[in-house]
């Protein structure tokens, strides 16, 4: 079948799409999401079909091509495009198998992951894979196979170093910005720690968002390898380098449904660690009754699977289970968190003690894992490196090596200009600070896209307060968002005083 | 936030879409499939976000609008469009609930069905609903609620008649075109039978495809009510009238995955029967080891659920379990099937006996159900109406009332001009005719989109043949498709001779 090309002037950034007029499609018995094999002379492509309802969009006898397909076919308006129906990729039958409740073998999972990476699956197919994993669950064998497939589908850092340290938190606790303190601490002890972090998905700030306030977090891969050798590590945004690239596409489907299939989460985390060549991982599992990990039993279950799969892919996983029931540090939002962590690194009295303590404990644990300290002595080494200013010096070195300024002063990081305050409605002791409520207020105020917006906590759990005491300050970039966030704080302040 | 409108010159036929430049979206922390509330003066809409990777598709500071949204907003190129992030529709949380394995209540299911009908769900959300129903299964309560929601989401025929008869086959048997024979038989007996049929989804012909060879199958709703009173019934394509409109959208997702969630299938069939006001339904369940219903146990299970749900929505369901292991009739493909059924209706010796017998048995059963015949005497009435030409007269009346010709002669229905033959490779008895293989050959030859293409069977199961006897003829519209279909028949002829 031959049709005339029409340049649709649209790009998807991934999947290849062609559009037929509805009448043409009906006549040829084609449906949306059918795959077409299209040819322009010797150039060939497989594209997904969309249907245009009107003559205006795609006239009869024409085939609308998106940028990706135009490029592959080297086609332009008016070219004669030959096409016929293409077979579905092999992976569709494996997705169907998973939907039917059967276990997938490594070959089948690898085929699916490859087709995800190369944009060969439609939204319908990808979604059914993700939801099937969620509703049917995944076996250890499946998670292991998926971890390997995800790791091998992307780039790898090739570091001739041992050990290569890494740290990761399951997340869900606002302000828990230990990574930018731990990484310089670990590197200051002479260890290698090539750290990639994510941006916020549903939280007021991800580590990459916070670091971006201070320095450059998008660097070319070759530079990363150089930094690992010369500086001992780096702190960058993982999304910019194609480590485990299937992951982003899976998250894009999970995000709107707000689901996080356990097997996929484990595979995704460990695949990224494999990609940077990590040999030792400290995994933080915060427990919060209302959060991602609600109790000890769930934490222990995760710890076991991570350790098991980690061992099979060459990553020695150690876990630390922490109290995740209230925010860590004072600032929540990129700039507010950045100020906090600089104060901790410079031993300023404004540095939040809980953030300092947690970072020291975790870095200490990593020293013991790496054999830098004897068991029980890691904390002391971490304390020494922090108090002496060595960790801060390493931090400054890293920031600068990544293309940031020579020196960063916490006070010079700008905050959003509009503020409002939330004060204690009565006297008593703070018995609860709800993570979700605080995160919601910070997001209403514009975090993380407004870097300077968020919430600054003046009081923590167990503090005794008098009616009228300042509990937190909200920062927003414009009056609308400020009003929204302040109203949120009145509906559910997040603080329980008794 | 304000952006400048760009007319994208594309329509989706349903869901409303807006496109932002990737840089704008990143800056505002927006992702594909986020929902935006867009305003142009007083006109408002909620649209789904897509991302443009290039400046060419959607420049910075612009918002690309599809036809549906342009129309609702009464917007044109250069208009200033105000927008902000919209909340997800309520139904997304219920879909999530189903994904988590919980039962949905009638309110929740109704909310989802309404959002499907009004194009409020993205592909990701709709797919996860369909796959969750498939993997988690649906309770009787859920199927019942979904049946009602689907029926009430569309149009209703309001017939002040009792009984209102209907007939439906679970399908999967090629050539099984009993409906256009049964409907005139039932109407000839003075009963009311407003029949809507589907087009082929994966088969070589649907009843609507076959009827379209003879008459008009797309009629306005008011005309349908008039026909039900004046002629006693009609035979039209259900897709053209918005009866149970959620159904098409669910099928669009099931089709590429080739899944058919049982609960959804039952709800969809019964909802359509409710929509035409059917009080009595004869449901045919063909059993075929390789087909949709593979054994007695599965058939009995379906019979029970259909009867149970039917009783709760006011449809008295009777089932007939039939042998579905070989094609019915000789012709497979719209025109070939149309000729067969006219021959049966005109008592021509070329009319296939199996098609005639099956139609008489089913029509007879419907007479007994409706109280037109005493138990055991329905077949005789059907035979009388057919042999006397009364059924054919009613058929001609219907065809004409639907805008077709005054008279249709089977011989005047054109077939595709290229043919090839498949002959018995050896002598013996035909012990098997495989439905899927025959359907595949007919589809390779161009059926159903080429109305005159398909397969004509000269021999049936249990026939004794000599080597070289003609088993079937393949009809195709062009030489390419003929070659394709003939090659298919050589690979797997569908006939087993022993």
What would the pLDDT profile of A108-163 be if each residue is shown by its tens digit?
999 999 999 988 898 899 999 999 999 999 999 999 999 999 998 888 888 899 99
For residue B293, the tally of other CB atoms under 10 A from its CB is: 22
* Closest C-alpha to A35, from A84, A86, A82: A86
Q: Is B67's CB within 8 Å of A56's CB? A: yes
Q: Which fold has domain A91-137?
A: 1.20.970
In the three-class reduction of DSSP (H, G, I as helix; E, B as strand; rest coil), residue A455 is classed as strand
Q: Is the pLDDT of residue A289 over 90?
A: no
For residue B91, the tally of other CB atoms under 10 A from its CB is: 23
Give the ipTM: 0.80
Cβ atoms of B309 and B431 closer than 8 Å? no
Q: How far is CA A466 from the centre of its chain?
A: 40
pLDDT, residue A196, reads 93
pLDDT top residue among B443 and B379: B379
Query: For chain B, how are helix, strand and coil distributed in percent, rounded to 5?
Result: 40, 20, 40
- Determine the Cα–Cα distance for residues B39 and B392; give it in Å rounded to an integer: 58
- Is omega for the bond preceding B243 within 30 degrees of 0, making it cis? no
pLDDT, residue B55, reads 79
Q: Which residue has the tokens 């940028």?
A: A67
**Residue A53 burial (C-beta neighbours within 10 Å; 0-12, 13-18, 19+):** middle
- Determine the Cα–Cα distance for residues B126 and B144; give it in Å rounded to an integer: 20
* Closest C-alpha to A363, from A343, A349, A348, A381: A381
The CATH architecture annotation of domain B415-497 reads Alpha-Beta Complex (3.90)
Edge-first strand listing for the sheet containing A165-169: A165-169, A280-287, A316-323
List the structure tokens of A491: 């509906």
Q: Which residue has the tokens 């017939």?
A: B159
> Is B463 a residue of the active site?
no
Which residue among the candidates A260, A354, A463, A469 is catalytic per the annotation? A260
CA distances from A306 to A287, A362, B105, B217 (A): 16, 18, 37, 60
Q: How far is CA A129 from the centre of its chain?
A: 20
List the structure tokens of B56: 């060419």
Residue among A9, A27, A259 whose CB faces B56 most closely: A9
Residues 31 through 60 of chain B touching chain A, CB cutoff 8 Å? 31-34, 50-54, 56-57
In chain B, domain spans: 2-85, 91-137, 165-401, 415-497
- A29 to chain B nearest CA, in Å? 6
pLDDT, residue B68, reads 83
Q: Is A256's CB within 8 Å of B10's CB? A: no
**What percentage of chain A carries pLDDT values higher than 90?**
70
**Residue A414 burial (C-beta neighbours within 10 Å; 0-12, 13-18, 19+):** exposed
Q: Is A57's CB within 8 Å of B10's CB? A: yes
Q: Is A10's CB within 8 Å of B33's CB? A: no
Which residue among the candidates B7, B105, B248, B260 is catalytic per the annotation? B260
- For residue A124, the chain B residues in CB contact (below 8 A) are 123, 127, 253, 256-257
- Determine the Cα–Cα distance for residues A238 and B196; give it in Å rounded to an integer: 55
Q: Number of Cβ pairs closer than 8 Å across A and B? A: 140
Q: Which residues contact B254 (CB under 8 A, 6 or more apart)?
A: B130, B260, B261, B264
Residues 263 through 302 of chain B touching chain A, CB cutoff 8 Å? none
- Determine the Cα–Cα distance for residues B434 and B455; give it in Å rounded to an integer: 13
Q: Is A253's CB within 8 Å of B124's CB? A: yes
Residue among A28, A96, A253 whose CB faces B257 most closely: A96
- As a whole number, mean pLDDT of residues A315-336 equals 96
List the structure tokens of A161: 């170093």
Length of chain A: 498
pLDDT band for A185, please (50, 70, 90 cuts).
Answer: very high
Residues 316 through 355 of chain A touching chain B, CB cutoff 8 Å? none
Q: Which of A32-36, A191-195, A282-286, B136-140 has the lowest mean pLDDT?
A: A32-36
- B255 to chain A nearest CA, in Å? 9
Q: Is B33's CB within 8 Å of A136's CB? A: no
Q: Is the pLDDT of residue B389 over 90?
A: yes
List the structure tokens of B475: 């009809």
Cβ atoms of B85 and B54 closer than 8 Å? no
Q: Is A10's CB within 8 Å of B10's CB? A: yes
Q: Which residue has the tokens 């649906």?
A: B138
DSSP state of B300: H
- Determine the Cα–Cα distance for residues A422 and A472; give it in Å rounded to an integer: 5
- As a whole number, mean pLDDT of residues A77-92 equals 88
Q: Which of A86-90, B71-75, B276-280, B490-494 has the lowest mean pLDDT?
A: A86-90
pLDDT, residue A331, reads 97
Residue among B95, B131, B252 whose CB faces A128 most closely: B131
Residue among B10, B99, B252 whose CB faces A131 most closely: B99
DSSP state of B189: T
Phi first, then psi, for residue A166 (nearest 5°) are -150, 155
- As a whole number, mean pLDDT of residues A256-284 equals 91
- Determine the Cα–Cα distance for residues A144 and A310; give it in Å rounded to an integer: 9
Cβ atoms of A1 and A83 closer than 8 Å? yes
Q: Is the pLDDT of residue B334 over 90?
A: yes
pLDDT, residue A449, reads 84
Q: Which residue has the tokens 């995740």?
A: A324
- As a whole number, mean pLDDT of residues A299-322 equals 96
For residue B285, the tally of other CB atoms under 10 A from its CB is: 22
Residues 192 through 221 of chain B touching chain A, CB cutoff 8 Å? 200
DSSP state of B86: P
In the three-class reduction of DSSP (H, G, I as helix; E, B as strand; rest coil), residue B3 is classed as strand
What is the enclosing helix (H) or strand (E) of A487? helix A479-491
pLDDT band for A13, please (50, 70, 90 cuts).
Answer: low
Q: Give the CA count within 13 Å in the CB-facing half-sphere of B481.
A: 28
* pLDDT (tens digit per residue) in A19-35: 888 888 877 767 777 88
Q: What is the mean pLDDT of chain A?
A: 92
CATH superfamily, domain at A414-497: Pyrimidine nucleoside phosphorylase-like, C-terminal domain (3.90.1170.30)
Residue among A22, A27, A130 whose CB faces B449 most closely: A27
Alpha helical stretches, state H, A123-282: 123-136, 140-152, 179-188, 207-214, 221-230, 246-257, 262-275
Q: Which residue has the tokens 């390419």?
A: B480
In the three-class reduction of DSSP (H, G, I as helix; E, B as strand; rest coil), residue A486 is classed as helix
In the three-class reduction of DSSP (H, G, I as helix; E, B as strand; rest coil), residue A372 is classed as coil
**What percentage of chain A carries pLDDT values higher than 70?**
99
- B256 to chain A nearest CA, in Å? 7
Q: How far is CA A402 from the centre of its chain?
A: 20
- Determine the Cα–Cα distance for residues B327 and B438; give it in Å rounded to an integer: 8
- Determine the Cα–Cα distance for residues B322 and B288; give it in Å rounded to an integer: 9
A240–B contact, CB cutoff 8 A: no
Phi first, then psi, for residue B36 (nearest 5°) are -115, 140
Q: Which of A189-203, A435-449, B13-27 has the lowest mean pLDDT?
A: B13-27
Q: Is A99's CB within 8 Å of B8's CB? A: no
* pLDDT (tens digit per residue) in B153-208: 888 888 899 999 999 999 789 999 999 999 999 999 999 999 999 888 778 999 99
Q: What is the mean pLDDT of chain B?
A: 92
- For residue B135, the chain A residues in CB contact (below 8 A) are 99, 101, 131-132, 135-136
- Is omega for the bond preceding B170 within 30 degrees of 0, making it cis? no
Edge-first strand listing for the sheet containing A331-332: A331-332, A454-457, A470-476, A418-423
pLDDT, residue B462, reads 95
- As a whole number, mean pLDDT of residues B358-376 equals 97
Residue among B29, B96, B123 whose CB faces A259 most closely: B96
pLDDT, residue A32, reads 78
* Closest C-alpha to B37, from B92, B89, B86: B86
In the three-class reduction of DSSP (H, G, I as helix; E, B as strand; rest coil), residue B46 is classed as strand
pLDDT, residue B361, reads 98
Phi first, then psi, for residue A292 (nearest 5°) are -60, -45
B-interface mutation test, from A10, A53, A101, A250, most B Cβ less than 10 A away:
A10
- For residue A128, the chain B residues in CB contact (below 8 A) are 127-128, 130-131, 257
pLDDT, residue B13, reads 67
* pLDDT (tens digit per residue) in A351-372: 999 999 999 999 999 999 999 9
For residue B141, the tally of other CB atoms under 10 A from its CB is: 15
Classify domain B2-85 at the CATH class level: mainly beta
Residues 448 through 467 of chain A touching chain B, CB cutoff 8 Å? 448-449
pLDDT, residue B323, reads 94
Alpha helical stretches, state H, A289-351: 296-312, 334-345
- For residue A10, the chain B residues in CB contact (below 8 A) are 8, 10, 19, 52, 57, 64
Q: How far is CA A204 from the centre of its chain?
A: 13
Angle at A133 between CA A132 and CA A137, to 5 degrees: 115
List the structure tokens of B61: 């500071």
List the structure tokens of A204: 């007021």
CA distances from B410 to A261, A361, A467, B340, B400 (A): 58, 87, 92, 8, 16
A-interface mutation test, from B1, B54, B135, B478, most A Cβ less than 10 A away:
B135
Give the CATH number of domain A165-401. Answer: 3.40.1030.10
In the three-class reduction of DSSP (H, G, I as helix; E, B as strand; rest coil), residue B342 is classed as helix
A-interface mutation test, from B120, B124, B129, B136, most A Cβ less than 10 A away:
B124
* pLDDT (tens digit per residue) in A245-268: 888 888 888 877 878 889 999 999
For residue B245, the tally of other CB atoms under 10 A from its CB is: 19
For residue A56, the tally of other CB atoms under 10 A from its CB is: 12
Q: Which residues contact A388 (CB under 8 A, 6 or more apart)?
A: none
Residue among B32, B124, B253 whose CB faces A257 most closely: B124
Q: Is the pLDDT of residue A476 over 70?
A: yes
Rg of chain A over Cα atoms, rounded to whole angstroms, equals 25
* Closest C-alpha to A370, from A189, A224, A233: A189
- For residue A256, the chain B residues in CB contact (below 8 A) are 31, 33-34, 88, 92, 122, 124-125
Residue among A34, A54, A127 whose CB faces B123 most closely: A127
């Amino acid at each position: 079948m031959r049709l005339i090309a029409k340049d649709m002037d649209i790009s998807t950034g991934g999947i290849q799409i062609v559009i037929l007029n509805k009448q043409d499609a009906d006549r040829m018995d084609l449906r949306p999401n059918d795959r077409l094999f299209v040819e322009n002379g010797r150039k060939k492509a497989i594209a997904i079909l969309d249907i245009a309802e009107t003559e205006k969009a795609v006239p009869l006898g024409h085939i609308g091509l998106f940028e990706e397909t135009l490029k592959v076919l080297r086609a332009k308006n008016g070219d004669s495009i030959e096409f016929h129906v293409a077979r579905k990729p092999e992976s569709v039958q494996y997705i169907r198998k998973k939907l039917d409740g059967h276990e997938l073998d490594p070959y089948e999972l690898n085929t699916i992951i490859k087709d995800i990476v190369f944009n060969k699956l439609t939204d319908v197919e990808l979604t059914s894979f993700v939801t099937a994993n969620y509703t049917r669950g995944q076996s250890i064998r499946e998670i292991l196979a998926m971890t390997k497939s995800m790791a091998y589908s992307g780039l790898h850092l090739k570091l001739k170093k041992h050990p290569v340290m890494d740290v990761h938190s399951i997340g869900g606790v606002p302000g828990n910005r230990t990574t930018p303190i731990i990484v310089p601490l670990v590197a200051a002890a002479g260890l290698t720690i090539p750290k990639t972090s994510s941006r916020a998905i549903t939280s007021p700030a991800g580590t990459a968002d916070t670091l971006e306030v201070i320095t450059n977090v998008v660097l070319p891969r070759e530079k990363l390898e150089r930094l690992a050798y010369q500086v001992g590590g780096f702190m960058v945004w993982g999304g910019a380098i194609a480590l485990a690239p299937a992951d982003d596409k899976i998250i894009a489907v999970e995000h709107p449904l707000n689901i996080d299939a356990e097997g996929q989460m484990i595979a995704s985390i460990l695949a990224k660690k494999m990609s940077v060549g990590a040999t030792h991982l400290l995994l933080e599992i915060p427990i919060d009754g209302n959060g991602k990990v609600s109790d000890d039993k769930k934490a222990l279950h995760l710890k076991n699977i991570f350790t098991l799969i980690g061992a099979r892919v060459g990553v020695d996983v150690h876990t630390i289970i922490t109290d995740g029931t209230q925010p860590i540090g004072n600032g929540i939002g990129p700039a507010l968190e950045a100020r906090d962590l600089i104060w901790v690194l410079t031993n300023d009295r404004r540095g939040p003690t809980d953030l300092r303590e947690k970072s020291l404990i975790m870095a200490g644990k990593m020293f013991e894992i790496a054999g830098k300290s004897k068991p029980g002595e890691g904390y002391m080494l971490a304390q020494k490196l922090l108090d002496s200013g060595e960790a801060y010096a390493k931090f400054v070195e890293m920031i600068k090596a990544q293309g940031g300024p020579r020196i960063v002063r916490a006070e010079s990081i700008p905050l959003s200009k509009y503020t409002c305050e939330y004060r204690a409605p009565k006297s008593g002791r703070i018995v609860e600070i709800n993570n979700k409520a605080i995160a919601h207020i910070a997001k209403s105020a514009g975090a993380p896209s407004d870097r300077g917006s968020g919430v600054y906590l003046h009081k923590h759990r167990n503090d005794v307060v008098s009616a009228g005491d300042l509990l937190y300050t909200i920062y927003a970039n414009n009056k609308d968002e400020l009003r929204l966030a302040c109203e949120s704080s009145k509906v559910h302040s997040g603080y329980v005083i008794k």
